[in-house]
Amino acid sequence: MKSIKRFSKVNLVVLALLLAGCKSNGKHNIETAITNIIKPNIIFLMTDDQRWDNMGCYGKLEFNTPNIDKLSAEGVTFDNAYYAVAICMPSRVTMLTGRFNSNHRVGFVAPDDYTLSQSDFENSYPAILKQAGYRTGFVGKVGFTVTEKATRPSTPKEHFYKQYLSNTFDYFAGSETYDYKGHVTWPESDVELQNIFKEGRENSGRTLRTGEAMLRFIETQPEDQPFCLSVSFYAVKHDKDRDVYMPHYEQFKDHEFEAPNNWVEGDNPDLPEVVKENARGVYLHRQRSSTPEMYQRLVSRFAAQGYSVDDQVGLLVDKLKEKGMLENTIIIYTSDNGRFQGSHGLFDKCLLYDESVKAPLIVYDGRMPESKRKRREKALVSSVDMASTIVSLAGLEPSNRMQGKDLTAVLNQTQDMEQWRDAVFMEDLFLVDMFKERYKENVDEINQNLINSNKSYRAHGVRTERWKYFVYYEHTPKIEELYDMVTDPSEQNNLATDPEHKQILKTLRTKTEDLYQKAIQNR
């Protein structure tokens, strides 16, 4: 039976009544009664730009992530999780609100370049749990801006964390991009929290500081209240010395990492022309990952940062055990988007190949029997599912604005998989030329000019169990890509012009349009 150490007095009274009613029905019903009364603690861990396969539990042991691997072995590891959008700001808002990018319209570039309104933020998973009595915390990179009303552009010159987030978060230690620039913490009375980010403190590394603030939240948690803690690591994005904890780099600096079979030295002639001529990932690949030497330097530094995050995951689990909380805590581990690292001759993210859009997703639920949680799960899931799932795990009703599916029945294996989705929707609304112009007043005109001159590579598409389809829908004529992910998981053979695949192409076109129309409903 689960520990009842952290019951409130009210819970104990209600539990006593329930136990009296189910005592004669045996141990199983007693445990069910306890589970229904205790609200679980929920910890949502998100890294920044961590490619799904850059960890041991997803097949790359050379990255050395023993604590994440153990969490995977003890939890449910999803092998078919995908981002609804694969770039940081809109991806974070999608997971927070449970809404597609085309619906919430929070992104880097016009016409979908709005801030998140306070009313929309109040329908996010932390706000819903806060309203239900949870203690809530946020640590790390925020990556988006909340304002009273949705405004443009989405990247204003200042942020308003205390003004618009303090009603939702009891505990906060965050900033826009770096924890040494514009960083805000509360409660101000927590001296130890303030000292973690004190100016002039010896640099211990951004990931270790994030971990210290995360553990401080656990240490200050009242015993009679459930909590929801969102931790958004700044790693593994950026790879300068100040971003990498150099003691952790020692184990990787001389290691030669195996390059994926779709890594391209130099330019990739097979990319669509509109991508080759306009996408940021092409020229960033030339600068950062287009030679073997560049690739090794880059990946070794990403690996070091992944190891630093892994170290914090281990410390977190140890702290939960020490406090007697682990059995009633759910830990979710994912990232905000992937990173090409030279695959397809690209460096960046956004584009709808798997290196960008496939997500790591691990869910550990300490309440769940080992027989249900020590497994891998093949269900198609999306990052848009995160908010409704977290709310449901807390025993609450998701907001009717949330568009994702609730994964709880998949997690506890009560879902009829014949009734589960057969495709996930993905989109990319980012254009680097629009990002450069984001502060200009005539951004809509600039956007239309880019489309008219055939420079837009915005895309959307679907992933099914077998197929990947996406279309550059603003290009004339439209450019389509179709891959058989069973025979061609590296997406090297585009079948969109193959007459033998005409019918599946037609089916997936229709599926994409149907899911897009659902995504933009009631926006």
Is the pLDDT at 306 greater than 90? The verdict is: yes
User: 44-422 with 425-519: one CATH topology?
Assistant: no
Average pLDDT across the chain, whole number: 93
Percentage of residues of the chain with pLDDT beyond 90:
88
Q: Model confidence at 203, in pLDDT bands (50, 70, 90)?
A: low
> How far is 492 from 497, CA to CA, in rounded Å?
14
The pTM (predicted TM-score) of the whole model is: 0.93
Percentage of residues of the chain with pLDDT beyond 70:
93
CATH architecture of 44-422: 3-Layer(aba) Sandwich (3.40)
CATH architecture of 425-519: 2-Layer Sandwich (3.30)
Q: Model confidence at 182, in pLDDT bands (50, 70, 90)?
A: confident
Residue-range domain boundaries for the chain: 44-422, 425-519
Residues recorded for the chain: 523
Write down the pLDDT at residue 37. Answer: 67
Write down the pLDDT at residue 4. Answer: 43
> How far is 212 from 137, CA to CA, in rounded Å?
13
* Candidate from 44-58, 187-201, 277-291 with smallest mean pLDDT: 187-201
Span 101-112, pLDDT tens digits: 999 999 999 999
Span 347-397, pLDDT tens digits: 999 999 999 999 999 999 999 999 889 999 999 999 999 999 999 999 999
Q: How is 336-400 classified by DSSP, letter by letter?
A: S----TTBTT--S--SSSHHHHEEEEEEEETTS-HHHHSEEE---EEGGGHHHHHHHHTT-PPPT
The H-or-E segment that residue 77 falls in is strand 76-82
Span 71-104, pLDDT tens digits: 999 999 999 999 999 999 999 999 999 999 999 9
Is the pLDDT at 36 greater than 70? The verdict is: no
Q: What is the DSSP letter of 129?
A: H
Write down the pLDDT at residue 34. Answer: 52
